Structure 1
Amino acid sequence: MAAPHRSGEIAAYPHPDDVTLSEFLTSHIESRTELKPGAQRMLWQVYRDLLAFFGDRTLLSSITRDDTNKFRDYLAGERKLADATVQRAYRRAAGFFNAAVSERLLEDNPFTPEGFTKIVHKGDLCRQCGGIRKPKPDEFYRISDNSECTLRHFFETVYYPRRLEHRSKKSTERMQTSLNQLAVFHGAEVRFTNLSDDLLERFALWLHGQGKSPATANISLRNILAVWRFAWKKRKVDELPRDVEMLPTPKRLPQCWTIEEFGQLLEAADNCKGSIEGIPANRWWRALLLTLYDTGLRLTATLHLKPANVDLVTGWLRVPADHQKQKAEQLFRLHGETVTALAAVVNFTSESLFPVPWQLSTRMAQRWCCRELRGLLESAALPHGQRDLFHKIRRTSASYLAREQGIAAATHHLGHSSQATTKAYLDPRITNTIHAADVLPRPAPPSSVQKTHRDAG
């Protein structure tokens, strides 16, 4: 990952209050040598917008929150930019001022959370900072006053290299997004001295008010709490979070496909036209769906499978640990029908068992698969919402296995660490073979009961 601009990488300012907007922006952008040309061009465009509105001699410390609101109105009114473009420019300008706060040129970021029409997604502010950089040896421990360290600096220099560097990119992006959201809510990067139970509880309520579901808000809250607890373990903060209340979330029952519904899906796959990376689309989809059904694998791990991972003679599939969420290798015995389907698509000259028209390192590969699966579900007249995609096939595999072999077998099958996690995948329509309505005595009117007794007598 590229290295973000951090404290100490630009020239020190002897008189912070006298630093002009032009001076700081020029120094900041020119120090960002790790950025690609396209990213630098976007920063220079925001630089021109800021100077066109504020002037090149405006002091950095003189810009107020009212000024930033007027700047946003200037972009929408005089510049006549689209709403999405205004929001992108506003976020990038906020990234500049976050850097100024980190450089201790400002106390607070004048770009307020109200200036954002929605939460920052997908690490936008982190991409402005260039992502996660590799810290220098013992860099964090050169900070003499831990109270002056920001949560983001601790994350980049300690938490990320020790906890996330060898995990999936998605885990890092989620953490970055949570830190971005907290910075937007607080109006500046959060320091250790700012951390409190009250701050995080208000943060969760704010996320919910911005349109996030309680479950999504709780994920961001847990991410921040994880960094806080790790900082306490490393003796960088004196207190742990005491009693941060999570938002109450509705408990949904898991749903899977019935055998009949999954058969409909396979029939729709058989009717697919065209090709996928040179493989007939109907064969590609049948092989993928049957592999997912037999193994219960996640989509990411399945797309990273290579032809060498499957033995078409013995029917064994070996899944490497590299792209597994649980970082553990798994071995599956495939059904003969699945082996036959795989034999029809396996190309030993290809790098992937299921090639897709996108690089696997990008999210576009998964998005493409989800979009195409939705089309299959629609053609099969099946539900095709957010909860009806690839993870529903994983729940299907687990539910039918738990009915036949028990929940312990399903836990091992999914690679879970506990049966409590697996229970959230099991559809009670499948696993509960005996239901209350099947065993409860049926009530009857008293007259019919007396008649039955007389008949018996």
Structure 2
Amino acid sequence: MNSNEQTGGLYDGLEPTLDNLHLFTIGTKNQLARRKKLGVSGLRKTIRSIEAAFESVFLRPMQLEDINPDVAMMLVNRWKREGMSLDMLHRRHEWFRDRNATAVALGWSKSQDFSGINIGRSEAWQASRQAVPVPKPLKGSRTKSKTTMPLLDFLNEHYRPTRLVGKSINTVRLYRHSINAFSRWLGRAAVLGDLNNKTVSDFLYWSLENTELAAATVEKDRSQLCVLWTFAAKRGWLKEFPEINAIPCPKRVPDAWSDDEMVQLMEACESAPGRIGKVDANKYWPALVSFIYDTGERISATLALERQYLEADGWVTIRGEHRKGKTRDKRFRLRPITLERIDSIKVFGQKNVFFWPYNYDYIFTRFGKILETAGLPNNRRNKFHKIRRTTASNFEAAGGNATALLDHSHRRTTLAYLDPRVIKETHPADIVPGIGETTIESGKDDSLVDDFREFLQSRKPR
């Protein structure tokens, strides 16, 4: 018996499309049922909202095959950054699961696992709703109307036009993220009057104690809220200035990929399925990874590279306006194999070398899948920036100046990129004899460390 017979001919003559999928639902007894109409207005709004979010990211209408965990995860992450409530996130996550189950029942799709999508710790944020009352307006005509101004409006109407001119979209996004996190803790939209030492410090303390957020993330929230706070206080819109000390953030040991891991990554890139716009994915990813490895550039500047700045002899210019800080251009020479890979993804009429037709954030999701295929960790520290750290570490180990390569203003910034295993730092175990030993054996012949040990031995008094 085929699936159509099992469903009693509910969808005779219907094409397997997303619009037709909305005509069906899974009933209370887990049986497929056909809707007489789409239903309540809330459901129609949810469908329109999800499809609109998809189209804004992928620049095309949503289709049946887009009901999958990758798309759901990418959209959920985007909604989380926009500050959507956890209840709404759970409903939209459930919508994807329900649509997949319905498509499976119709025989239009295979069953997919949506359990790996991290919606968030709802119990933590629900418990955080402090129900802090809206601050009372301060006395004085200058401050009275400003105290109850929503922080997001303050950011968009006052701070951004004067202090964030020329800054990247990502910088503005980070400010909004901090404001949204503050609002979730308050249980309402944050207003300017909430920027006081008691309320902000309570929010930061709670974030450190009751969430899995890293100290650096909480410090970022503190820093950005205090910047907005100071801006308002200098204009007399708030009576007190921030007095909250910076949160100590432990510095992590920089790590790079080994040669074997880079080979694994490249093999995974060369076997990537599907297409990126008009280019085969198994050609796009090797070209992108090769370019970042040759230059050590950031992913944002790489995606902005135009073909007119790529020369036939292998030299490429990264324009200053696309680089962090937007201060100066940077030139690099590419390997012949990198040039060949770039030539293989050339599309007539396409000005960008690495044209990415989707939302910027989605590239990290797609690259994460490649990392998993390569058997490498898929987390925030193991994305494109790790290739940058790998290039910097290998360049320094080969005798180059990684500070100049990465175009850092200070050497201390570069040190956060250099893997001590790659640059071969000397440690006590390398040159200091062990307890009760007079010499230390080395398995490395003709190394500088061995020469140094011999020199020390020769200097001992006889």
Seen in structure 2, the aligned counterparts of structure 1 residues 244 and 393 have a Cα distance that, compared at 3 Å, is same
Q: Which amino acid aligns with 2:314?
A: G
Deviations 1:419-445 (A, max 9, x none): 222222221111234333221123347
Deviation, structure 1 residue 393: 0.5
1:214-229 mapped onto 2 (5 Å cutoff): 214-229=215-230
- 2:317 is paired with a residue whose SS is strand
Which residue pairs with 1:317 in the alignment?
A: 316
Contact 1:307–1:346 (CA<8 Å) still a contact in 2? no
Contact 2:276–2:356 (CA<8 Å) still a contact in 1? yes
Query: Which of 403, 409, 413 is the equivalent residue of 1:417?
Result: 409
Which residue pairs with 1:453 in the alignment?
A: none
Which residue pairs with 2:297 in the alignment?
A: 297
Q: Distance in 2 between matches of 1:427 and 1:245?
A: 27
Deviation, structure 1 residue 316: 1.5
Gaps of at least 5 residues in structure 1 are: 1-36, 43-80, 88-112, 121-142, 447-456
Q: Which amino acid aligns with 2:383?
A: L
Seen in structure 2, the aligned counterparts of structure 1 residues 323 and 258 have a Cα distance that, compared at 3 Å, is same
Seen in structure 2, the aligned counterparts of structure 1 residues 321 and 236 have a Cα distance that, compared at 3 Å, is farther
Which residue pairs with 1:179 in the alignment?
A: 179
Which residue pairs with 1:386 in the alignment?
A: 380
Q: Distance in 2 between matches of 1:388 and 1:419?
A: 23
Seen in structure 2, the aligned counterparts of structure 1 residues 85 and 327 have a Cα distance that, compared at 3 Å, is same
- 2:225 is paired with a residue whose SS is helix
Query: Which of 117, 122, 141 is the equivalent residue of 2:126?
Result: 117
Q: Which amino acid aligns with 1:334?
A: L
Q: Distance in 1 between matches of 2:297 and 2:319?
A: 12
Deviation, structure 1 residue 210: 4.1
Q: Distance in 1 between matches of 2:268 and 2:389?
A: 20
Gaps of at least 5 residues in structure 2 are: 1-43, 50-86, 94-121, 130-139, 439-461
User: What is the RMSD of the two structures over their aligned residues, measured on CA atoms?
Assistant: 3.6
1:125-140 mapped onto 2 (5 Å cutoff): none
Which residue pairs with 1:126 in the alignment?
A: none
1:122-161 mapped onto 2 (5 Å cutoff): 144-146=141-143, 148-149=145-146, 150=149, 152=151, 153-161=153-161
Which residue pairs with 1:16 in the alignment?
A: none
Q: Which amino acid aligns with 2:319?
A: P
- 2:337 is paired with a residue whose SS is helix
Which residue pairs with 1:34 in the alignment?
A: none
Q: Distance in 2 between matches of 1:327 and 1:204?
A: 32
Deviations 1:49-73 (A, max 9, x none): xxxxxxxxxxxxxxxxxxxxxxxxx
Query: Which of 423, 426, 434 is the equivalent residue of 1:431?
Result: 423
Contact 2:219–2:246 (CA<8 Å) still a contact in 1? no
Contact 1:307–1:347 (CA<8 Å) still a contact in 2? no
Q: Structure 1 residue 400 and structure 2 residue 399: aligned?
A: no
Contact 2:287–2:342 (CA<8 Å) still a contact in 1? yes
Deviation, structure 1 residue 220: 1.0
Contact 1:201–1:244 (CA<8 Å) still a contact in 2? no
1:5-16 mapped onto 2 (5 Å cutoff): none
Seen in structure 2, the aligned counterparts of structure 1 residues 86 and 356 have a Cα distance that, compared at 3 Å, is closer
Q: Which amino acid aligns with 2:229?
A: W
- 2:350 is paired with a residue whose SS is coil
- 1:341 is paired with a residue whose SS is helix
Q: Which has the higher helix share?
A: 1
Which residue pairs with 1:130 in the alignment?
A: none
Q: Which amino acid aligns with 1:400?
A: N
Deviation, structure 1 residue 235: 5.1
Deviation, structure 1 residue 346: 2.5
- 2:316 is paired with a residue whose SS is strand
- 1:332 is paired with a residue whose SS is strand
Deviations 1:260-281 (A, max 9, x none): 3212222333344554333333
Q: Distance in 2 between matches of 1:114 and 1:441?
A: 54
Deviation, structure 1 residue 344: 2.4
Q: Distance in 1 between matches of 2:234 and 2:406?
A: 32
Seen in structure 2, the aligned counterparts of structure 1 residues 293 and 119 have a Cα distance that, compared at 3 Å, is farther
Q: Distance in 2 between matches of 1:119 and 1:351?
A: 48
Contact 1:307–1:348 (CA<8 Å) still a contact in 2? no
Deviations 1:167-186 (A, max 9, x none): 22221122122223323434
Contact 2:150–2:189 (CA<8 Å) still a contact in 1? yes
Which residue pairs with 2:368 in the alignment?
A: 374
Deviation, structure 1 residue 331: 2.0
Which residue pairs with 1:124 in the alignment?
A: none
Contact 2:278–2:347 (CA<8 Å) still a contact in 1? no
Which residue pairs with 2:261 in the alignment?
A: 261
Q: Which amino acid aligns with 2:126?
A: T
Q: Which amino acid aligns with 1:322?
A: E
- 2:332 is paired with a residue whose SS is strand
Which residue pairs with 2:231 in the alignment?
A: 230
Which TM-score applies when normalising by structure 2?
0.59
Which residue pairs with 2:56 in the alignment?
A: none
Q: Distance in 2 between matches of 1:171 and 1:315?
A: 33
